[in-house]
Amino acid sequence: MHGNHSPCSRPSDRITSSCKSSVIHLRIALLTSSYLPVVGGLEWKVHYLASEYTAMGHDVEIFAPRPAFGYRKAVVPAPMGFRVHRFGYPARGAGRLGITRLLMRRAVLRSHRRRPFDVFHCHPVGLPSQVGVEVARGTDAIVVATTTGGDVTHQTERGVAPKLPSRALQQARAGAEGVDAIVAVSRAMRRAVQDLDVKVAVVDIPNGVAWQDFQGGRSDWLQKTLKIPEDQLIVLSVGRNAEMKNYRGAMAAFSRALRHVPAAHYVIVGRDVPRLAETDEAKRLGDALHLVDQQPMSLLPSIFHSADIFFNPSLAEGFSQSNAQALASGLPLVITDAPGNVDAGDNGGALVAVAGDVEDMAAKLATLMESRDRRDALGRESHAAGHRFAWKTIAHQYVTLFEDLRIVRRGEAKPS
């Protein structure tokens, strides 16, 4: 375990048990709406949790729809001791017609009847959790659903809307009904789950980061790849190109900060990011801006370790994976106070700017760009804070929750 966590650290004050050191062998089914080779936070989360559960000695199986044809040639890590079951058809509309739910249920039931599962861990709240509840009904198995963001909040391109549309609200409530607990990955997600007005335990466990992969030390990948002089500062953002990410505001803020430290570069890495080149903000930055399309996960540690400052200007997040990666890399952060984004600064390592406020973001960037000592001090805080996001730590918190819920199910303890 890393940091101050232990296998018996309490993930929630909603569940009570003796929390003894456990060697219980669990059969865990991970039900997910998407999995690798589709690349995204959800897909990697399921992969890393499955790997850590397996490393802890548990028996793990993933159930996921077949990916669309365009992803078939992507590089997929080999399962680390767990099984992956594919079902369904790579065609649009199968989910809305109920076909995906039917086929997921059949796949899970087939394995469950052969060797019953103890835990159904579902990602996200919605179709996977509905299937988990259906299959677990009448058995001792528990069902835990983990939020992703769009499952319980209405994340528009401009941020988070006040309410879910009626159809989405109905689906979220249906996904929450009958589960033993919902895991909220950020404070914003906890509030969103509570707003569903469903009687269910809400447990706070963030998403994680592949900690060891980000401990390799300083790199020069960005400098060599983008031909940036080694003595010039690099500000890095990582994430897909979407209006919600607020990259146009970020470029405007960097342009203002550049007046204080002219020898600096802004690098944005993510899917469809090169399209930003046509914006006025990008044109004003000229050679100081570098727009890099999505890179393989294996390259991300080198990318983070070749930057000096990490900048997340987002207007809303479910949970920002790139924030956790920056913390693990020991980078000083400038983040916004947007829902799901601000949590990364809870334990130090980040300056927090007002979301959408170009001047405030520019001021926070300039503070770090001007001072090497401030960057170094904040970087040390960042690395120390990042320990709590190691997937090993996160997996132990989940298993503790699973065991607590099983004790409650057997009537040996009661939820508070």
Each residue's pLDDT tens digit, 241-252: 999 999 999 999
Is 372 within a domain? yes
Whether residue 200 is found in the same domain as residue 257: no
Q: Is residue 415 very low, low, confident or very high in pLDDT (cuts 50, 70, 90)?
A: low
More confident residue, 330 or 165: 330
More confident residue, 159 or 58: 58
pLDDT number for residue 158: 56
Whether residue 194 is found in the same domain as residue 329: no
Q: Provide mean pLDDT across the span 344-360.
A: 97
Which stretches of 18-176 are assigned E, i.e. beta strand?
27-32, 59-65, 83-87, 119-123, 142-146, 155-156, 159-160
Is 189 within a domain? yes
Q: Range with the lowest mean pLDDT among 260-264, 304-308, 366-370?
A: 260-264
Q: Is residue 412 very low, low, confident or very high in pLDDT (cuts 50, 70, 90)?
A: low
Is 9 within a domain? no
CB atoms within 10 A of CB 244: 18
Each residue's pLDDT tens digit, 141-182: 999 999 988 788 865 555 555 567 777 788 889 999 999 999
Is 16 within a domain? no
**Residue 75's Cα: distance from chain center in Å?**
20
Whether residue 241 is found in the same domain as residue 378: yes
pLDDT number for residue 238: 98
Whether residue 244 is found in the same domain as residue 337: yes
Using DSSP, state whether 399 is helix, strand or coil: helix
Whether residue 64 is found in the same domain as residue 201: yes
- Angle formed at CA 129 by CA 126 and CA 132, multiple of 5 degrees: 150
Whether residue 150 is found in the same domain as residue 248: no
Whether residue 221 is found in the same domain as residue 363: yes
Is 294 within a domain? yes
Contacts of 279 (CB under 8 A, 6+ apart): 248, 251
Each residue's pLDDT tens digit, 96-110: 667 889 999 999 999
pLDDT number for residue 156: 53
Q: Is residue 416 very low, low, confident or very high in pLDDT (cuts 50, 70, 90)?
A: low
Whether residue 235 is found in the same domain as residue 140: no
Whether residue 224 is found in the same domain as residue 165: no
Whether residue 303 is found in the same domain as residue 161: no
H/E stretch holding 333: strand 333-336
Is 96 within a domain? yes
pTM of the model: 0.88
Q: How far apart are the C-alpha atoms of 151 and 122, rounded to whole Å?
A: 12
Q: Which domain holds residue 189?
A: 27-208+390-409
Residue closest to 227 by CA, chosen among 267, 284, 283: 267
Q: Range with the lowest mean pLDDT among 48-62, 66-80, 324-338?
A: 66-80
Whether residue 203 is found in the same domain as residue 313: no
Structural domains counted in the chain: 2
Is 111 within a domain? yes
Is 373 within a domain? yes
Using DSSP, state whether 292 is helix, strand or coil: strand
Residue closest to 52 by CA, chosen among 89, 27, 91, 80: 80
Whether residue 296 is found in the same domain as residue 361: yes
Which stretches of 48-185 are assigned E, i.e. beta strand?
59-65, 83-87, 119-123, 142-146, 155-156, 159-160, 181-184
Unique residue bearing structure tokens 């900690």: 211
CATH at residue 111: 3.40.50.2000
Which stretches of 210-308 are assigned E, i.e. beta strand?
233-238, 264-269, 289-292
Q: Range with the lowest mean pLDDT among 1-5, 210-214, 342-346?
A: 1-5
